[in-house]
Chains A and B, each alone.
Chain A
Amino acid sequence: MDRLRIVSPEDSRPRQLPTLGAVRVVGVAAVIAVGVVAGGFVLQWLGLPRAGRGDVVAARATVWLGRYRETSGNLLIGNRRVHATCVRGWIVDLSGRNRRGTLLRLATGGTIRDFPPHTLIVRRIPIRRPIALLQAAGCTKVLADRLATLSQFDGGVKATRIDMDGVPALVVRFPRLTLYVDRFTGKPIGVTNPWLRGNFRLIPILHRRGSP
């Protein structure tokens, strides 16, 4: 049997726990931390604008373009409708060397080779704005770079619903470039600029035989 312990009156008084002070310190620190999180968030939420819906749509289109290397579509040059294919990868330049770049081929036989940062070779295409042509044809890297810049620095634009040749689409109007994307997937399907119009589809490279 356990022995009974004699408890003195002093011992029976409630003692202040030694951890109480620590709990209080931690509590106050936690209140400050929560206050900073909440206050900081509210400040940002109320003080900063939200990115425009059009900017977000363009940013998603940029992600889509980053996943593909090839596009096929039609360009409206003047009143002529021309089929175009565009591919990004290793392209043969004028000296016969393979370089990373973009190649646009028109059904008329004309080509544009773009080797960043400063080389652009235009063959048999009577146009003064070859970059606009590359964008309208949906050339993935050229268009993605342009959209990324526009959505960051010319942002604050809206996305509006339209019907594009029977396809439910969203249209985003930046200065000098209008982007059309599939309303359901967000994939880019067309571009217009002050000089050209184009619609295109992104082609998975694995479905192609060989390399261009």
Chain B
Amino acid sequence: MTELAWGRERPFEWVRERGWILGWWVAGRLMVLLPAALVDLLGPRGYTGGEERSSIFGLLHSWDGRWYKTVAENGYLLEPGRQSDPAFFPLYPLLMRAGHALGLSYATAGVLIANIAFVVALFLFEALTRDLFDPASARRATALLAVWPLGFVFSMAYPESLVLALVTGAVLAARRDRWALAAALLAAATLARPEALFVTIPLAPAAWRRRSGAAIGALVAPLAALASFAVYLWLTTGQPFGWTHAEQAWGRRFQVLGLVHAVTDVPREFAGSAGIARDVASFVLYVALLVVAHRRGVPRGWVLAGAVVVVLPTFSGSFHSIGRFGLLAPAVFWGAALVVRRRWVYAVSAALLVAGVATLPLVFP
């Protein structure tokens, strides 16, 4: 089993061995930050508001970034039947607020946190992939993650990079039998995005074999974190499940035939916004990569968790944002790393990444 940085290896050797991760992070982020600045200067304004136009990286704190900033700045306010901020989980705005306390603007703090969390996520993801597979697969999967077409989200004022870092850290901690740490990290991840809950699927067999209170506690921790959010919303907005009410205003409501509706509504949605094509393509790609991952021996729990993360949101009757949601399914990247051997794939992925940034004023991720 590969040791983590803070394991037996010396820090200098560890950094030298994994310096390439920093290289991919820098390259990937330049592919996001430079086009974002260029689009701000020259590109279409699209749906971005005045606030987003106020800074050169304004695009990166647009769309949901604005909602997270609202939570950080003003707290939760539930508006029944309308889109409102309880749909956005509290950990990321808490960190934005901490950044603001250090003198940064909320927007700058959000973008900075996301990018720093992403480099941490890349290191932890590489370590986890190395743990589960082999160094070559870890290298390919990590490089692909750094330049993934929808990976611009990892640089936006969104919590995805933070969640990926926390989730991979939690699994690594569990694999090293540090279940209490795993519990804390999983709880934190769930307070940032509810998808973190599904990481308990691959962890469950190991926790069951371990049969310790801490291991079972790690499985329960995400649910407990959700409960803490419910209690907080109850006391501040009067609605313990305010986040589900708020999400319904975005059309996020489970329907038994949701996936069927999502498929049959594609032409209508496409007529409204061509951006849906990106999410449909992402869905097909993610499902295909999960099938590959399953066939090539990725542990079933991880494939199942990935399938839940990718497929479950479509039961709301739409493919919207699937491309982004799938970023929290590590099995997708492992599936990709297992089949990708050619270098041009990285170039294509990077080109799509740049193109994705250019569409940001018009299409939400």
Interface residues of A (CB under 8 A from B): 21, 24-29, 31-41, 43-45, 47-52, 55-56, 59, 62-63, 66, 148, 151-153, 155-156
Q: Which residues of A contact B214 (CB under 8 A)?
A: 28-29, 32
Asked whether A47 lies within 8 Å of B97 as measured between CB atoms, the reply is yes
A48 nearest in chain B by CB position: B75
Question: Are the C-beta atoms of A32 and B225 separated by less than 8 Å?
Answer: no
A62 and B82 in contact (CB under 8 A), knowing A37-B224, A37-B231?
Answer: yes
Q: Which 6 A-B pairs have the closest CB atoms?
A: A28-B213, A40-B228, A32-B217, A36-B224, A155-B74, A29-B216
Can you list 19 A-B contacts (CB < 8 A)? A25-B216, A27-B213, A29-B217, A32-B183, A32-B218, A34-B224, A37-B228, A43-B228, A44-B229, A45-B235, A48-B71, A48-B75, A48-B93, A49-B74, A51-B76, A52-B74, A152-B77, A155-B70, A155-B73
Also in contact, A156 and B212, with CB within 8 A (given A32-B221, A37-B231): no
With known contacts A32-B213, A36-B183, A151–B77 Cβ distance under 8 A: yes
Chain A nearest CB, measured from B263 CB (Å): 28
Say yes or no: is B205 at the interface (Cβ < 8 Å to chain A): no
Q: Which residue of A lies closest to B77 (CB)?
A: A51
Given contacts A148-B82, A152-B74, A156-B74, 9 further A-B contacts (CB under 8 A): A29-B213, A29-B217, A32-B224, A37-B225, A40-B228, A43-B228, A44-B229, A48-B93, A155-B73
- Is there contact, CB below 8 Å, between A152 and B94? no
A-chain residues with CB within 8 Å of residue B232 when the two chains form the complex: 40-41, 44-45, 48
Q: Name A155's closest neighbour in chain B (CB-CB).
A: B74
Determine the chain A residues whose CB is within 8 A of the CB of B84 once the complex forms.
Answer: 148, 152
Interface assignment of B79: CB less than 8 Å from any CB of chain A: yes
As a 0/1 sequence over residues 205 to 226 of chain B, the CB contacts with chain A under 8 angstroms (1 = contact) are: 0000001111011111101110
Q: Does B135 contact A (CB under 8 A)?
A: no
**Cross-chain contact of B228 among A27, A44, A152 (Cβ < 8 A):** A44
Contacts of B250-276 to chain A: CB distance below 8 A: none
The docked-state distance in angstroms from the alpha carbon of A153 to that of B235 is 21
Q: Which residues of B contact A56 (CB under 8 A)?
A: 77
Q: Of A24, A55, A152, A156, which contacts B213 at CB under 8 A?
A: A24
A59 contacts B228, CB within 8 Å?
no
Minimum C-beta distance from B218 to chain A (A)? 8
**Contact (A33, B221) CB under 8 Å given A25-B213, A27-B213, A56-B77:** yes
A24 to B212, CA, bound (A): 8
CA distance A35 to B180 in the complex (A): 11
Give the residue of A29, A36, A148 whose beta carbon is less than 8 angstroms from that of B225: A36
Residues of B near A62 (CB, < 8 A) are 79, 82
By the criterion CB–CB under 8 Å, are B228 and A36 in contact? yes
Per-position contact with A for B127-152: 1 when CB-CB < 8 Å, else 0? 00000000000000000000000000
Distance in Å: Cβ of B28 to nearest Cβ of chain A? 30
Nearest CB on B from A55, distance (A)? 5
Instruction: Please give the distance in Å from A176's CB to the nearest CB on chain B.
Output: 14
CB atoms of B213 and A40 under 8 A apart = no
Report the nearest A residue to B76, measured CB to CB.
Answer: A51
Residue of A nearest to B237 (CB): A51
Which residues on B sit within 8 Å (CB–CB) of A43?
A: 94, 191, 228
Known: A28-B213, A32-B217, A32-B220. A152 touches B231 (CB 8 A): no
Please measure, in the bound complex, the distance between the C-alpha atom of A113 and the C-alpha atom of B213, giving whole angstroms.
65
- Is the CB of B2 closer than 8 A to any CB of chain A? no
Known: A32-B220, A148-B79. A47 touches B94 (CB 8 A): yes
User: CA separation between A44 and B71, bound complex, in Å?
Assistant: 11
- Contact in complex: A40, B77 (CB < 8 Å): no
Contact (Cβ within 8 A) A48 B90 = yes
Pair B77/A26 contact, Cβ less than 8 Å: no
**Chain A residue with minimal CB distance to B218?**
A32
Are A51 and B227 in touch, CB under 8 angstroms? no
- Cβ of B11 within 8 Å of any chain A Cβ, yes or no, is no
Residues of B within 8 A of A148 (CB): 79, 82, 84
User: Closest approach, in angstroms, between the C-beta of A137 and any C-beta of chain B?
Assistant: 21
Pair B75/A51 contact, Cβ less than 8 Å: yes
Shortest beta-carbon distance from B30 to chain A in Å: 31
Q: Does B124 contact A (CB under 8 A)?
A: no
The answer for the CA separation of A29 and B81 in the assembled complex, in Å, is 37
Establish whether residues B217 and A33, one from each chain, have CB atoms under 8 Å apart when the complex forms: yes
Q: Are A51 and B236 in contact (CB under 8 A)?
A: yes
A38 to B227, CA, bound (A): 9
Nearest-CB distance from B251 to chain A (Å)?
A: 17
**Whole-angstrom CA separation of A50 from B74 in the bound complex:** 7
Complex alpha-carbon distance, A35 and B221, angstroms: 9
User: Is B278's beta carbon under 8 Å from chain A?
Assistant: no
State the Cβ distance, B312 to closest chain A Cβ, in Å: 23
Q: Give Cα A27–Cα B79 distance, bound, in whole angstroms.
A: 39
